[in-house]
Structures are given as C-alpha cells and as structure tokens.
Structure 1
Amino acid sequence: MGRQIGGGHEDEVTAALLCHRLEDDIVGGRILPGARLEELALARRFGVSRTPIREALQLLAATELVEKRPNRGVYVTLPAPERLTSMFEAMAELEATCGRLAAERMTPAERGQLDHTHRVLGVAMRAGEAGDYEAGNRRFHDQIYAGARSDVLVELTAAVRRRVAPFRRVQFNHLARLGASHHEHQAVVDAILRGDGRAAEAALHSHIMAAHEVAQDFLASLTLAARRQG
C-alpha cells in the first residue's frame, strides 16, 4: 500500500492531491493507457475513503487523462497529438494576453515582485532543484495573471492551464529545460519591467509553445510504451 494521504478534510484538499499524484503516475508512465482505475483499489493504495477518490477521478477527467465509460468504469487515456497541440495553443494565446496586459497594468511594486521571483527561480535552476523551480514557476505565472487585472481572462486561463498542467510539469524532469525555461522567463520579465506589452505577449507565447514541444515528445514516448505493452 502507498503512503496514506488525507485526514479530517480529505473530501477537499485530498481529492486535489490524489488527482495530482495520479496525473504524475500517468504522465510518468507508471500507469499506462488502457488501465482501469478502480475506486476501491485506489482507496486502499492511498489509505483514504472512496469519496475523495471519486472526486479525484472527476478532476482527472477534466485533464482528458482518463475517460469515464458508461457501466464500465474509468480508464486511462491520452489526448491525441493534435488535441494536445490545440490545448497548448489556447494556453499560449491566453497567457500571452495576460502578459501584454500585465506589462501595461502592473504597479512598480508588482513588477519588482515578479523580478524577485525570477531571481529566486534562477537560484533553483542553478542548483538543479526541480521541485523548487516548479513551485516558483507557478508563482511566477500567477503573478502575471494577477497583474493583468482581468478576472474573466484569468478564469479562462486557469481553466485551460488545469487541462495542460500534467504535461507542463514533465518539462521539469529535464535539467536542460529548467535553464531554457529560465532564459525564456528573462525575456518576459524584461518586457514587463519596461512596460512593453507586445514584447511580453510574444515572449510568453513562445515560452508556452516551447513547453508544448517537450510535452509532445513525452506524449509520443508514453504512446509507444503503451503500444509495446499492448
């Protein structure tokens, strides 16, 4: 049995944590496409009740990593390459717009905070601390979203971000990608600090599509592994 997760509030926080763990198992190739995810088995594995497992599977379905089949259960699947491209294109367009607006609307204090986050990310990158870099990366993008001052745009961006999140995370498994990501962030920060909305827009679009290339390579490797096993 795996390490137990959860406690008194397992129906909320634990479901999200379980979803994250299952996402990583799927994109990490530990659970291959075609596998059935059984609530009882997962509840035993994680040491929780079936309620948060059921909620985690519902969250997971939104990422298109699983498919609910009527009267048959929940099965692991993967998006087609074209579908993954479509999701990343939407993500790139939305984040690019957030970047343009942030460059135009951020206060001097917010620009300074973004620059500070970028510098902290540099420390994590040089140390090869992928976990710290991933956490700082989320904070970096969240600061740009907040700086855009557009609630509706941020809601839409967050929804698409949720769909591509498992595939965005795989890039942090490669130290070389950490360096490339930080270099791309530098272009974003430079543009926002000087208030150049169009440059920030272009830099963020390029940044997201670079992550897309890594995600496509990883999707191809998972698909090949599943075919070999099948």
Structure 2
Amino acid sequence: MNESPGRRIPQAQRLRDLLEDAIVEGHYAPGDRLDPEALARQYHCSRTPIREALTQLAVSGMVKVAPKRGTFVARLSVTELVERFEVMAELEGMCGRLAARRMTNESLMALQQAQVECRQCMLEGDVNGYYYKNGEFHRLIYEAGHNAFLAQEARRLHAMLKPYRRLQLHARHRLESSWCEHERIVAALMAGDAETAQRELREHVLLQGERFNDLVASMQRLEQAQT
C-alpha cells in the first residue's frame, strides 16, 4: 500500500510538466476544456494521475476548475501578468533581504552549487534544464530567509508564474543575462549585504523594459499559433 503512492507521485509530476509545457507551447489554448479521459488516452495512463496533475495545475493557476463543467486552461492577460510579477518581485526581494541576514553556511553552499548547475545548463543552451535549476536556486533563497509564511507565499506565486518564467527563458540571450543576475545575487548574499540582495532579486524578477517587451512578443506568437 505504501509503494503505490510513491509510484503515482512521480507520474503525476511528469504529467503536470507535460501538460504545463503543452499549455505554454500553445497546444491547448486558453479556455480549452481538459478532458481527463482524453488526456489519459493521450498519455497512456489511468485517470488518477491525470486528475492529480490537473489539481496541481489548478493550484498554480494554470487551469481553472468550473463546478459541474470541468477543467479549463486559464488565460492571464498582460495586465494580470504584470501585476503578479510586481508582487513576485517584492516577495523575492524580501526573501533576499532576510536570507542575507539569516542564511547559514550550509544553505549558502547549496545555493552556490545550484548556481554552478545553472551555469552548466546555460553553457549547453539547455532552457528546460536551466528552468528547473533556476527554480531550485530561488527555492533555496526562500528557505534561507527562515520565514515560513513568506516562503510559502513566494512558492505559491512562483508556481503560478512558472509557465511564463519558462517562456521568458526562450528570449535570445536570456539564459546568459539571468545567470549573470544570479551571480550578483549570490555575491550580495555572501557579503551579507541585505539591501543589495533585495534590490538584485527584485530587479531579477520584475517585468520592465526589454524583458517586458520580449514576454509580450512571445505571448503574441503563441496566440498567433493558436489561431
């Protein structure tokens, strides 16, 4: 009995990632209904892990569940995205400020290792690999602040924006610039410079200037592909 959930959890996570990719890449348009039976046939699995994956996507905000109607792909407008990224930037900045004051040598070493792994993905041009290592990099900073409530809220919003952060990484030279921003964040944390860590993390996440234009252009390409 104990082994069965252990097998289902990785499968649900794999299916969640596949569905997330499919949504971000435009295979499912905003407003499309996601039928568990059809998805189970498509991915050659039972409906149980499909339902678990859809539940995870609902928590992240990627899909919306309408009672008695089903599960539908959510659509975030540009305004909604900007608002969420603004809040995410402030939360990340707070996490960085606290981490600079409170992180242990062990958590700093783990962060440095995550940055090494990000660099390897960046050099290989591995967008998906960088995406996952980047998530680990930020998670370590959340935990290093030793504020469980703040970390929980940061993780929740981070999960909601994950598909759009993945989309950002496909912009030309974004892997390199993201990694360089990480370097400045790590340097500030190593120095215990709370103000600089807060500023660097905030700017790392905030949608502004060319980064905003790149994301809008990527979203427009997806919409054109869908139509």
Question: What is the CA deviation profile of residues 136-188 of structure 1, one whole-angstrom value per residue up to 9, with x for unaligned ones?
Answer: 21221122112111111111111111111111112333451100101111111
**Contact residue 130 and residue 175 of structure 1 kept, 8 A:** no
C-alpha distance in 2 between matches for 1:123 and 1:42? 34
Alignment of 1:1-230 (within 5 A): 8-9=4-5, 11-174=8-171, 176-210=173-207, 213=212, 214-226=214-226, 229=227
Letter in 1 for 2:47: R
**Contact residue 95 and residue 157 of structure 1 kept, 8 A:** yes
**Contact residue 62 and residue 73 of structure 2 kept, 8 A:** yes
**Contact residue 64 and residue 78 of structure 1 kept, 8 A:** no
**Contact residue 37 and residue 76 of structure 1 kept, 8 A:** yes
Flag the 1:110–1:77 CA change in 2: closer, same or farther, 3 A.
closer
Structure 2 gap segments, 5+ residues each: none
Calculate the TM-score normalised by the size of structure 1: 0.85
Aligned-pair identity in percent equals 35
Q: Which moved more, 1:171-180 or 1:182-191?
A: 171-180
Letter in 2 for 1:136: K
**How large is the Cα RMSD of the aligned pairs?**
2.3
Calculate the TM-score normalised by the size of structure 2: 0.86
Flag the 1:22–1:12 CA change in 2: closer, same or farther, 3 A.
same
**Contact residue 64 and residue 79 of structure 1 kept, 8 A:** no
C-alpha distance in 2 between matches for 1:62 and 1:203? 28
| Count of residues in Structure 1 that have an aligned counterpart in Structure 2 | 221
Structure 1 gap segments, 5+ residues each: 1-6
C-alpha distance in 1 between matches for 2:110 and 2:58? 35
Letter in 1 for 2:40: A
**Contact residue 128 and residue 175 of structure 1 kept, 8 A:** no
Letter in 1 for 2:163: P
Question: What is the CA deviation profile of residues 91-145 of structure 1, one whole-angstrom value per residue up to 9, with x for unaligned ones?
Answer: 1111111111111111234334323332332232122222332232122112211
